[in-house]
Structure 1
């Protein structure tokens, strides 16, 4: 099993985790994700979720986590240029850039044409970047800045 496959398995097991209370960026699991990157409750946590999943997978495989320990989506993207890819494959981390210093990220689970099927933290049923749960989404590849290959 590759690091990407193990990471996706861990992320899949987190589907359904929700903030408590909703829209608070807190709750037992959310605070564990945030602590994994050195943050306390109240911060946006999509990248912390990605880091936590990848860190757990790496630890279970006795491997090194290739990601930077950060809760910042664009910080992660800009600090790992050797991981950046333009076309996705399952297990990649997708990066969205909203051009105002904010972003959103999640895992690519599968690709179908111009659509990626994802597992994301801090999202909601409409696919927002400030949601309240870990969920599966689908996104147009054109909305993605780039992909990080684990």
Structure 2
């Protein structure tokens, strides 16, 4: 795991339990902080903004440049950062899911166990939705993932 991946994961872990206020609003102090990091106000889907914010904070703490593209778009990030794409997930990698019609979802890998990744994700819920209301730990099968971005 890279230093940046490790620090990004550490920061993501500190956000577990953050929720939208009110629920299902894409708003609230923490959510708006994530969205602001990519230049957006409240009301937008924020899973990628969450990952961008975590990586930005980690980069600042380490005194290095954030390698991510400033966007809240999961697939926009994937398309702009193909140089970071890897196929073998490891802790600290950002996963990319593609649901078609421009809809995606993302989070960070905490642990890998064969074909299961254990993740921390923003804008999800206990059911693993791509449009949830908080930051949660989740499990995903690797065959549902389009790509992994290695920081």
Q: After TM superposition, is the score higher than 0.5? A: yes
Over 2 Å off, 4+ runs: none
3-state SS of the aligned residue for 2:100?
A: coil
1:33-67 alpha-carbon deviations (Å, 9 max, x no partner)? 00000011000000000000000000011001010
SS at match of 1:98: strand
TM-fit CA distance, 1:132: 0.2
How large is the Cα RMSD of the aligned pairs?
Answer: 0.7
1:58 aligns with 2:59: yes
Q: Distance in 2 between matches of 1:48 and 1:6?
A: 17
Deviation at 1:9, TM superposition (A): 0.5
Paired position in structure 1 for 2:107: 106
In structure 2, distance between residues paired with 1:10 and 1:145: 24
Mapped partners of 2:135, 2:95: distance in 1: 15
Q: Unaligned 5+ residue runs, structure 1?
A: none
How far apart in 2 are the matches of 1:144 and 1:101?
15
Deviation of the 1:99 alpha carbon:
1.2
Q: What residue ranges of structure 2 are gaps of 5+ in the alignment?
A: none
1:125 is the counterpart of 2:109: no
Matched, 1:11 2:21: no
Matched, 1:85 2:110: no
2:47 is the counterpart of 1:46:
yes
Secondary structure in 2 aligned to 1:135? strand
SS in 1 for 2:53: helix
1:26 Cα deviation (Å)?
0.2
Post-superposition offset of 1:87:
1.5
Partner residue of 2:37?
A: 36
